[in-house]
A = this chain, B = another copy of it.
Amino acid sequence: MAITLGSVQLRIMRVLWDEGEATARRITDVLSEQSPIAHSTVQTLLRKLETKRAVAHEQQDRTFFFRALVAESEVTRSAAQDLLARVFQGSISGLVGHLLESEEVSPEEMQRLRQLVNHKTQEASE
């Protein structure tokens, strides 16, 4: 059941995760802040998301209110696992190595990263 979403679908889901529930119109407006998108495009994608059980809607008056059926963590996790398996053949250090080489990483990020790794190391030894 690996839930894989396209980039626009992901942005739609993000609105739902942020706001709990939203109308198609609301989503169109939020997405359009970044780059213009036709309302019917958003509606089509919501439909496709509903088909694959990633969202559901309920009606009030003439308007649909959508909400997410899958958790953000679920989606991001399967995306990360997918990449890890497909591209890095399971090697987390391979993935992280590449990222550290090619991205500008803020000191805060590095801090968080170190904590994550050390925490996990500790866990393993207790």
User: Does A117 lie within 8 Å of B114, measured CB to CB?
Assistant: yes
A120–B83 Cα gap in the complex (Å)? Answer: 23
Residues of B close to A109: CB separation below 8 A = 91-93
User: Does A92 lie within 8 Å of B87, measured CB to CB?
Assistant: no
Q: In residues 87-126 of chain A, which contact B (Cβ within 8 Å)?
A: 87-88, 90-103, 105, 107, 109-110, 112-114, 116-118, 120-121, 124
Q: Is the interface of A mostly helix, strand, loop or mixed?
A: helix
Q: How many copies altogether?
A: 2
User: Does B99 lie within 8 Å of A110, measured CB to CB?
Assistant: no
Asked if A42 is at the interface of the complex by the 8 Å CB criterion, the answer is no
* Of B10, B73, B94, B120, the contact of A100 (CB 8 Å cutoff): B120
User: Does B105 lie within 8 Å of A96, measured CB to CB?
Assistant: no
Stretch of A22-30, A47-55, A59-67, A74-82 that contacts chain B:
A74-82
Report A's interface with B, CB cutoff 8 A: 7, 10, 73, 75-77, 79-81, 83-84, 86-88, 90-103, 105, 107, 109-110, 112-114, 116-118, 120-121, 124
Besides the contacts A90-B103, A92-B96, A92-B100, what 10 more A-B pairs have beta carbons closer than 8 Å? A76-B95, A77-B98, A77-B101, A84-B99, A92-B99, A92-B103, A96-B96, A100-B116, A110-B121, A113-B117
